[in-house]
Amino acid sequence: MSVLVFADNSGGKFKKNALEVTSYGKKVAEIAQSNLVVLTINASDVSELSNFGAEKIIKVNDDKLKNFNAKAYADVIKQVALKEGSDTIIIDSSTDGIYLAPIVAVNLDAGYASNTVSVPNSIAPFIVKRKVFSSKAFDHTEIKTTNKVIGLSKNSFGLVENKVNTVEEEFSPSLSDKDFNVVVTSVEKTTGKVTIADADIVVSGGRGLKGPENWGMIEELTEVLGAAIACSKPVADLGWRPHSEHVGQTGKPVASNLYIAIGISGAIQHLAGVNSSKVKVVINTDPEAPFFKAADYGIVGDAFEVVPKLIEKLKEFKGNQ
Amino acid sequence: MKILVCISHVPDTTSKINFTEDNTKFDSNGVQFVINPHDEFVLTRAMWFKEKQGASITVVNVGNISTEPTLRKALAIGADDAIRVNTEATDGFYVAKQLAEVIKNGGYDLIMAGKESMDYNGGMVPGMTASILDYNFVNACIGIEIEGNKATVTRDIDGGKEILSTELPLVIGGQKGLVEDKDLRIPNMRGIMMARKKPLKVVEPVDFDPTTVITDFEKPTPKSNCKIIDADKVEELVDLLHNEAKVI
């Protein structure tokens, strides 16, 4: 038996997600007294995974898999799982990961626990802890099937360095035309910017900033922090910022290490989308704003005075590092 | 074009979440149930297909009789008929099995669901349903156009978007972007009156052993109070974020 981790890469480079699922997979394999196998697709240099416990790496290189394709990727995972005798499959919670995992589960007749935040409490029965009700609660889910798929919630386990000797193996999957019934015709991707999905720090602006012309200081703050930029729903609805920056219940989810909300009161729908962030900071003129109840640190004050000062102090801090 | 819109019946986001029976059951006491927010975007997009391309819309829910007001609300928004699979929606795989059966029997061209429900946040049902049926599937869908048998679908990806081309029958997991908040339909009086007369068929579930079971729930440990920093001492925030929270 083995634990199979799918470590996704972007242009050959492993993101934090991939290293996190590998770290997590190593721990699950230890608990289950099993072996860890890591699958990569079209990644040339996989050595980084050795630092996080990848004892065995299966490398698939196939031009047909150049673009992410959920069905084809799921098919590859199934073939590797069967070959390696994997009964536990671990997938990250990126947009691609959550697209892929349900297909893998059906392919392998596996129970699927998404949004998992812990290693299994026990192996027999196999029980994991999951986030539910928009992070307002957790449940313990028992997966009853022989095969199991775990979707690991972003930033819930972290990276655990664990240098091992790695065996690398090439594998050529057999793919059919049916795997490619959904075809990517074009991709629009912002380059050079930190995305909300990958960011360790997210800075978000709300209606308290009064208008789109005032976003310069928010942009400067994100630059100083190497953060991603985000906004509340009203700001996107008013057209001040693009919808792609909207975070909250119906927008993008945030699970960063640090979330800074500026001029956002903290409606429950907003908090539902961002409360998975580890540390939350709120800057708001209204001390009664609900966000103060959800935040770890708060400043009651005018963003137009506080943010420039914060930028200045952060620059000093960065300069001293 | 026959469209099936899958509707989840979920607690309103502002609901207090509590559990009963030794933390093994969700406490629905005093909880207001609504159409799952993602499903509202999907349903409105389906209405555009109905109005512009003459599609028919069936809405479906897997749940007990308590979910019928939510289905009636979807009918009031403009769906033509409704199906309720008479069983508790226990886990995602089980719900997907039930939906697959409904789809096989109904011969739908396009199956539209919200990408996840706001209760268990599983995000499992659309993908699993598509896989059981071996239908084409696109998740996190923020745009869709259908011409004949061809579908052009826009998918939200980390840091951008992707345009995909595929064919019917197709399952999508949809979200905001299919339509915007300002476009969302709410039932009017005429719709509500008409919804009472629209067919709501109750079908019995197919047998399928649950693949997962929730053993119990827990609430997060209550947060410690927010530390308030003086607006004139912003450097203290920098210090706390570095030395205490260790996030910068």
Contacts of A122 (CB under 8 A, 6+ apart): none
The answer to the question of residue B239 being in a domain is no
Task: Please state the domain extents for chain A.
Answer: 2-180, 201-320
- All residues of chain B having their beta carbon less than 8 Å from the beta carbon of residue A230 are none
Residue A192 confidence (pLDDT) above 90: no
> What is the model's pTM?
0.96
Find, in chain B, the residue whose alpha carbon is nearest to that of A197: B158
A144 contacts B212? CB cut-off 8 A: yes
Query: Is residue A51 over pLDDT 90?
Result: yes
Contact A309, A220 (CB under 8 A): no
**CATH architecture label of A201-320:** 3-Layer(aba) Sandwich (3.40)
In a domain, B229, yes or no: no
CB neighbourhood size of B60 (10 A): 27
Q: Is residue B159 part of a domain?
A: yes
Q: Percent helix, strand, coil in chain A (nearest 5)?
A: 35, 30, 35
Whether B37 and A249 have beta carbons less than 8 Å apart is answered as yes
User: Chain A contacts of B19, Cβ < 8 Å?
Assistant: 137
- A266 burial (CB, 10 Å; 0-12 / 13-18 / 19+) is buried
Note the pLDDT of residue B16. 92
Mean pLDDT computed over every residue of chain A: 96
Neighbours of B24 (CB within 10 A): 13
Beta bridge partners of A201: A258
Q: How many residues are given for chain B? A: 248
Residue A21 has pLDDT above 90, yes or no: yes
pLDDT category, A11, cuts 50, 70, 90? Answer: confident
* Residues in chain A closer than 8 A to B125 (CB atoms): 102
Helices (H), chain B: 37-53, 68-77, 92-106, 125-133, 189-197, 234-239
| pLDDT tens by residue, A197-215 | 999 999 999 999 999 999 9
Architecture of domain A2-180: 3-Layer(aba) Sandwich (3.40)
Residue A223 has pLDDT above 90, yes or no: yes
> How far, in Å, CA of B120 to CA of B93, rounded?
13
Cβ proximity of A21 and A90 under 8 Å: yes
* Position A190 confidence tier, pLDDT thresholds 50, 70, 90: confident
For residue B237, being part of any structural domain is answered with no
> Which of A46, A87, A317, A176 lies closest to B248, judged by CA?
A317
Contact A133 B132 (CB under 8 A): no
In this prediction, the residues of chain B whose per-residue pLDDT falls under 50 are none
Q: Which residue does chain B place closest to A270, by CA atoms?
A: B13
Whether B232 is covered by a domain: the verdict is no
Q: Which domain holds residue B74?
A: 2-218
Q: What residue of B is the nearest CA neighbor of A121?
A: B215
- Give how many domains chain B has, as a whole number: 1
pLDDT score for A64:
95
- Local structure of B182: helix, strand or coil: helix
At CA A250, angle to CA B32 and CA B142, rounded to 5?
A: 130
Decide if A2-180 and A201-320 have a common fold.
yes
pLDDT at residue A16 is higher than 90: yes
Asked whether residue B128 is assigned to any structural domain, the reply reads yes
Identify the band that residue A305 occupies on the pLDDT scale cut at 50, 70 and 90.
Answer: very high
| B247 part of a folded domain | no
pLDDT band at residue A65, thresholds of 50, 70 and 90? very high
Whether residue B238 is contained in a domain is answered as: no
- CATH number assigned to the domain comprising residue B201: 3.40.50.620
Mean pLDDT of A190-203: 90
3-state DSSP assignment of residue B63:
strand
Query: B71 by DSSP, 3-state: which?
Result: helix
